[in-house]
Amino acid sequence: MKHFIISAFCLASTWLSAQLCKPDTTIKVPGFYPSKLADGSVGVAYNQTVMILSFKDTSAVVGGSKQKVTIDSLKLTKVIGLPAGMGYVCYEQRCVYLPSAVRCITLNGTPTQSGLFPLKFAVTAYAKVNGFFPVAQPDTIREFSILVTGNSSSVVSNDIQKLSVYPNPSSHIIYVAHASGSKPSMTQITGAFVSLDWREENGVWIANTQHLSSGVYRVSVGGVNRTWIKE
């Protein structure tokens, strides 16, 4: 089962990947990269890309016997165990990914608690036995952990560290993470309200900003403000 999941686990970047996640096409050996995630610090913005190169097929035990399995796609259902203040971005719609290329996701945000955080990637692999019979196999990837150092109590007195706005500057999309999880709002530098279609995914608020004019904007959540630049 381990070989089945390793070969199946591909996290892709076709939706807005040019802005936020550029797969390393020099990777030729299937596996996870990097083998160790970067450490983080309380109150400091964190951004880590995880890249995977998967196989097209492998073998798995089905009905008590070993069968050839052709991987069709994999759905990432959740990343479990992230420290408070952090979320993740998967660049394919509905977090469904295709195999046979280097793919990636991004773990980001501003951690508000310290400690060692073992991560669990809950996934479901969709495959075909002998190339014909569809199967769906849920499993959990337990390869990663994040070490966050620092004093968690220091964040409470520093509200600005609770709000992460990224990428900044950017042109097509904005991601906002806040310790409270509240929906953000945006205004022009003049104070005029900006209407955006915000949606929440995995603890991070996302909005398309393609229609906005280039300039300086203010993002607000829970009384905390950050300046954001539209290219």
Taking the chain (231 residues) in runs of 10, the rounded mean pLDDT of each run is 38 38 77 84 89 67 70 81 84 72 83 83 78 75 84 50 75 81 85 90 85 88 82 84
At 68 the pLDDT is 72
Looking at the structure, give the CATH architecture of the domain made up of residues 2-149. Sandwich (2.60)
Where in 179-222 does DSSP place strands (E)?
Answer: 185-188, 193-194, 199-201, 204-208, 215-221
At 113 the pLDDT is 80
Query: What does the DSSP 8-state code read for residue 93?
Result: G
CB 37 within 8 A of CB 145: yes
Q: Using omega within 30 degrees of 0 as the cis cutoff, is the peptide bond preceding 34 cis?
A: yes
Does the pTM exceed 0.75?
A: no
Looking from the CA of 150 toward its CB, the CA atoms found within 13 Å total 19
- The one-letter code for the residue type at 18 is A
At 211 the pLDDT is 92
At 207 the pLDDT is 92
At 226 the pLDDT is 83
Exposure letters 33-43 (e unless 16+ CB within 10 A, then b): eeeebeebebb
At 178 the pLDDT is 77
Query: Looking at the chain, which residues constitute the CATH 2.60.40.10 domain(s)?
Result: 158-230
At 59 the pLDDT is 60
Residue 191 is encoded by which pair of tokens? 């104070």
CATH code, residues 158-230? 2.60.40.10
For residue 200, give the 3-state DSSP assignment.
strand
For residue 37, give the 3-state DSSP assignment.
coil
Residue 221 is encoded by which pair of tokens? 């959540």
Burial class of 113 by CB neighbour count within 10 A (0 to 12, 13 to 18, 19+): middle
At 58 the pLDDT is 60
User: What's the full length of the chain, in residues?
Assistant: 231
